[in-house]
Amino acid sequence: MPFGQVVVGPPGAGKSTYCAGLAHFFELQGRACAVVNLDPAAEKIAYETSVDIRDLVAADGVQTELGLGPNGALLWSLEYAAENLDWFEERLRPLLDQGRYLILDAPGQVELHTQKGGFQRLLAWLSQALHVRLAVICLVDVHLCGDAGKFLAAMLFSLSVALLFELPQVNVLSKVDLLNSQGLGLALSFQSLLRADDLEGLADALGPGTSPQLRALTRDLGEVVQEFGLVRYVPLAVQDPEAMQALVWAADRALGFVSSASASGEEHGDNPFRAQLAAQQQNNPARLWESVVDKYAPQAGCDDVFDERDEL
């Protein structure tokens, strides 16, 4: 069965950077993959695409021809794409026959995550017609963690994505390497942000001018998220192999992914990078999580931040 990731997140969350980094990481591991751009409004892409939706429909051309605004052109383009699935099948089928793992780079506009439309139909077709097992990788910029209101909005965004796509999902705090390099302040402890617990502290972290109604709403929403254990985050720094391996492990677990080499019992051969990371994963994945957390927030304890039994 083919596997793939759907990489979503608000604009600026680092989706394209992650897709490029993941493709490079898989190359080092010897895992065959293909990056698919599904953003018809993308201007510059930081990776080599195997399939690019802009070869079928480009949002800038739609704007010019139909007189639509940027968001309207994007939604129209995705509806058009969903009506031309044979175009995608012609290009994706050979990649899947080669056993390639799909990395799907999604647009960042919030409209895609608040209403069902062409993008959701495209993903449903991939799952049902091409039998691709997909997981959503939902990126949130760590800069949002410095403001209690913005972090609450980020959690609600992650929840809305989960409700809309109804796929296995891994939530990610991207750019955590900036915590040390830029000295970013956090609304809560790093541990609490990752586990999305102690959220009653979000209301207390709001500014002194916050209205009582907004403070009460923040407290109530935080309690709902915490009570049901609906959200937790994986820390990511794309340039860090350990952080990438930790996220890949979480995605593989969500997908139930087993590589063909592992299934057949093949050794890692002459690929020392792959062998080293495989050893880390097999020996103690939880320790790898803790190593990543310690690296980027040494002032925060990481006991029980991640547990092999936890659902991410």
Quickly list DSSP for 220-271. HHHHHHHHHT---EEE--TT-HHHHHHHHHHHHHHHT---HHHHHT---TT-
| Distant-in-sequence, close-in-space partners of 62: CB < 8 Å, separation ≥ 6 | 40, 68, 73, 76, 77, 80
pLDDT band at 312 (very low <50, low <70, confident <90, very high): very low
Indicate whether 177 pLDDT > 80: yes
d(CA 89, CA 132) in angstroms, rounded, equals 12
222 within 8 A of 199, measured Cβ to Cβ = yes
The pLDDT value given to residue 60: 94
% residues pLDDT > 70 (the chain): 84
Indicate whether 182 pLDDT > 80: no
Indicate whether 141 pLDDT > 90: yes
Q: Which residues of 231-256 are buried (b: 16+ CB within 10 A; e: fewer)?
A: bbbbbbbbebbebbbbbbbbbbbbbe
Indicate whether 236 pLDDT > 90: yes
199-215: average pLDDT: 85
206 within 8 A of 146, measured Cβ to Cβ = no
d(CA 293, CA 243) in angstroms, rounded, equals 9
pLDDT band at 140 (very low <50, low <70, confident <90, very high): very high
Indicate whether 4 pLDDT > 90: yes
80-87: average pLDDT: 97
107-118: average pLDDT: 78
| Distant-in-sequence, close-in-space partners of 180: CB < 8 Å, separation ≥ 6 | 296
CA triple 118-122-125, angle to 5 deg: 135
Higher-pLDDT residue of 169, 189: 169
The pLDDT value given to residue 191: 84
The pLDDT value given to residue 109: 81
306 residue type, one letter: F
| Distant-in-sequence, close-in-space partners of 6: CB < 8 Å, separation ≥ 6 | 104, 106, 123, 134, 135, 136, 137, 165, 167
The pLDDT value given to residue 188: 80
The pLDDT value given to residue 130: 96
The pLDDT value given to residue 120: 92
The pLDDT value given to residue 302: 41
Indicate whether 299 pLDDT > 70: no
Higher-pLDDT residue of 303, 93: 93
The pLDDT value given to residue 225: 86
Indicate whether 301 pLDDT > 70: no
The pLDDT value given to residue 78: 94
Lowest mean pLDDT among 25-34, 112-121, 161-170, 256-265: 256-265
123-133: average pLDDT: 96
pLDDT tens digit sequence for 246-292:
999 999 999 998 665 544 445 455 555 555 555 555 556 677 778 88
Polymer length of the chain: 312
pLDDT band at 11 (very low <50, low <70, confident <90, very high): confident
The pLDDT value given to residue 304: 42
Indicate whether 310 pLDDT > 50: no
Domains of the chain by start residue, with CATH: 3-296 (3.40.50.300)
d(CA 102, CA 32) in angstroms, rounded, equals 9
Higher-pLDDT residue of 307, 276: 276
Mean pLDDT across the chain: 85
The pLDDT value given to residue 267: 47
d(CA 19, CA 82) in angstroms, rounded, equals 22
The pLDDT value given to residue 271: 58
